[in-house]
Amino acid sequence: MDILVYGIINSISLALVALGFALVYGISRLPNFAHGALYVVAGFLTWSLARAAGINYLLSMLCAMLLTGIMGAMIYRFLLIRVRGMAISEIIASYAMGLAILEGLRWWGFKGMTYTLPPFVEGSIMVLGVPVDYHRLLVVVIGAGVVLVLWLFTHQSRIGLALRGMAQDERAALMLGIDSDFMALLAMGFGSMLAALSAVLLLPLGNIVVEEGYNILILAIAVCIVGGLGSWMGAVLAAFLIGFAQIITVVYLGSHFQMVVAILAIIITLILKPSGLFGKQKELEERV
Amino acid sequence: MAEQRRKERIDRGIKVRADSIYALMSLKEISYLTLPRLILIVGFLLLPILMPSAYWQRVISITCIYALLALSFDFLAHYVGLVSLGGAFFIGVGAYIAAVGNTSLGLPIYLTIPLATLGGGLICTLLLLPCLPLRGVYFAIVTLMYPLAMARIIEALDIFGGTDGIMGVASFPVWWIEQYFVILALLGFLFGMRRLVNEDIGLVFRAVKDNDQAVRASGINITYYKALAVFIASAMGCLGGACLTHIYMWAGISQFALDFSILPIAATVIGGGGTLAGPVLGCLILVPISELLRAFGTLRIVFYAAVLMGFVVFRSEGLMVYGERKYHQFERWVKV
């Protein structure tokens, strides 16, 4: 029962973390290696607004999400747009960006165990005989909601359809009058907002530390690679796969192995089937 | 409408002459060809003597190790088309082999370094063998994950000293052996690689980068050549790792850290990819600056990440390509 309940919680958290990465890559083919940095930035922004500036908690969370979204969009607009299409340069530039942000934050003084956010609601409840605190339940509910809303957004709204059109065929989308640069900007903005959303949901469960940025990046990449880069359904499914695998290894082997599972999942998936479970890439584009 | 002009680049006369048999015509042509190389070689050999303190001599050794790594990155990325973001993997494997060989097996330093170089190259090649068919982003991501995986596995299984690392590794007997060993290794590899990429085998490497399907169609086993290239590159990295272990007398998880992956890439981007000498130049600039900034803590990582970003985005040709152009060609404005 422990495994089932915490597996589901862990899986939903992973899905939340990975959706932003999957969104950006799915739409603009841009591997956003600054994802983890944006996640941590959102956490520290919320902390600064709520704790240091004393603004209402909910309001500061929304502000942090908005600011992170704008930040992501600016990163795209002023930096990444210039190297768009050169995959390796994209990776190096965005990774360097993330590194600069994370280490900058560390230098600025955001380190140690002092930065925490309060959970939304205190207390816990028994679910299937396992004690689960309300906050984790809330994460599951909101996470499932986000996946649903994202699905509706990309399948029903005009912008969502335009984004999907660009993901499927950028040239055809351009021909139909969809401004691909603007859409990629939007995607990067939304992706960063999703990173921020997962940050404000998940960070109250632990401390806000800079190292978390690197772990989040690895987890996001793991989920997206296993699910297939560019496939959102695949990402959600892969989140469950990795989520349960992590919980099972933690129960039977110890918590040291949590990240090993994610990293090995990346390596093994790339070796066996680089397009992942639901990837749409053609075989020859990824391996010889 | 304003008069339109454009920049025209023409080879200098001396370059045209020095390209052919006329290179031997006069001292001027000969020195045009050899002076840049001589400056590099003599400069490197003089560096340890010119350094004011033992600390800065140590910095020179570290610079050379980073330069070896940058050289291997440049070779793999720009001559074979395998962009490996896992320089730390090579360093780490070399470091651990040297440390284990020295402390557990009791091998002397002049055996551990060759052992780490060849054995480490072999191990890295074998581990990376399944990933060789991958292209572009996929290979980059998978190589980025290798050092992280190694570090976490060592941490989780608590092997090779776990998080403490292996201590008590023998150091180089005298400081100048340490210095000149890494410097000569770097110079040897630098000029060796420059020659290698212009041999027949280098031609195959570059063909694999440009169009692997065509190479395959001509009946050449591309996996073999890719593996060979990875072996050469990882042996360089492992040599660096082994030297690092013997210099610090310690091997630990931090040798799989991202520093070793990102700084050589930054150096390559700054120095100019595909020139082989460029990455060495980049390291000569970046590592000492990063040392100077050590007082500012992690700000130095911010610094080189920012430099890397700036060069990737705005000046992707790099210093060496720029310098070569200025050396070989002159520019003038002409009317369109």
Going from N- to C-terminal start, the domains of chain A cover 2-209
Asked if the Cβ–Cβ distance from B305 to A221 is below 8 Å, we say no
DSSP code, position A121 = S
**Residues ≥6 apart with Cβ < 8 Å to A127:** A5, A137
CB B179 within 8 A of CB B61: yes
Residue A29: closest C-alpha in chain B: B137
Distance from CA of B303 to the nearest CA of A (A): 7
Distance from CA of A287 to the nearest CA of B (A): 4
Residue A286: its pLDDT value, please? 56
Tokens of B208: 């694999």
Interface of B with A in 316-335 (CB under 8 A): 316
At CA B135, angle to CA B130 and CA B139, rounded to 5?
Answer: 60
The structure's pTM equals 0.87
Asked if the Cβ–Cβ distance from B222 to A271 is below 8 Å, we say no
Residue B24: its pLDDT value, please? 78
Average pLDDT, chain A: 83
**Closest Cβ opposite residue A103 in set B265, B298, B309:** B298
Asked if the Cβ–Cβ distance from A99 to B313 is below 8 Å, we say no
CB B308 within 8 A of CB A118: no
Which among B94, B194, B201, B101 has a CA at the least distance from the CA of B150? Answer: B94
- Residues on A contacting B at a C-beta cutoff of 8 Å: 31, 79-80, 82-83, 87-89, 91-93, 95-97, 99-100, 103-104, 106-107, 214, 218, 221, 225, 254, 256-257, 259-260, 263-264, 266-267, 270-271, 274, 285-288
* A288 pLDDT higher than 60: no
Which residues in chain B have Cβ-Cβ distances shorter than 8 Å to A225?
A: 141
Interface contact B265, partner A, CB < 8 A: yes
Interface contact B142, partner A, CB < 8 A: yes
Select the highest-mean-pLDDT range: A14-18, A22-26, B17-21, B62-66.
B62-66
Asked if the Cβ–Cβ distance from B266 to A96 is below 8 Å, we say yes
Tokens of A169: 């065929």
Determine what percent of chain A is predicted with pLDDT higher than 90: 3
Span A5-17, average pLDDT: 86
Residue B42: its pLDDT value, please? 92
Query: CA–CA distance from B323 to each of B39, B275, B312 (Å)?
Result: 14, 11, 17
**Closest Cβ opposite residue B145 in set A256, A267, A274:** A267
Asked if the Cβ–Cβ distance from A31 to B314 is below 8 Å, we say no
**Closest Cβ opposite residue B140 in set A91, A214, A288:** A91
The pair phi, psi for residue A13, each rounded to 5°, is -60, -45
Residue A285: its pLDDT value, please? 56
Helix (H, G, I), strand (E, B) or coil at B10: strand
Mind listing the pLDDT tens digit of every residue in chain B (336 residues)?
A: 677 888 888 888 888 888 777 777 788 888 888 888 999 999 999 888 888 788 888 889 999 999 999 999 999 998 998 888 888 999 999 999 999 999 888 888 889 999 999 999 999 999 999 888 887 778 888 888 888 888 888 888 888 877 788 888 888 888 888 889 999 999 999 999 999 999 999 999 999 988 888 998 999 999 999 999 999 999 999 999 999 999 888 888 888 887 788 888 889 988 888 888 999 999 998 888 888 887 777 787 888 888 888 888 887 788 888 888 888 888 888 887
Whose tokens are 């809303």? That residue is A149
Asked if the Cβ–Cβ distance from B302 to A104 is below 8 Å, we say yes
* A224 pLDDT higher than 90: no
Residue A274: closest C-alpha in chain B: B138
Residue B85: closest C-alpha in chain A: A92
Instruction: Please report which residue ranges of chain A form alpha helices under DSSP H.
Output: 2-28, 35-47, 57-78, 87-108, 134-156, 158-168, 170-175, 180-202, 211-227, 232-252, 257-272, 283-286
Asked if the Cβ–Cβ distance from B316 to A89 is below 8 Å, we say yes
Interface contact B80, partner A, CB < 8 A: no
Distance from CA of A251 to the nearest CA of B (A): 14
Interface contact B305, partner A, CB < 8 A: yes
Tokens of A92: 């190096």
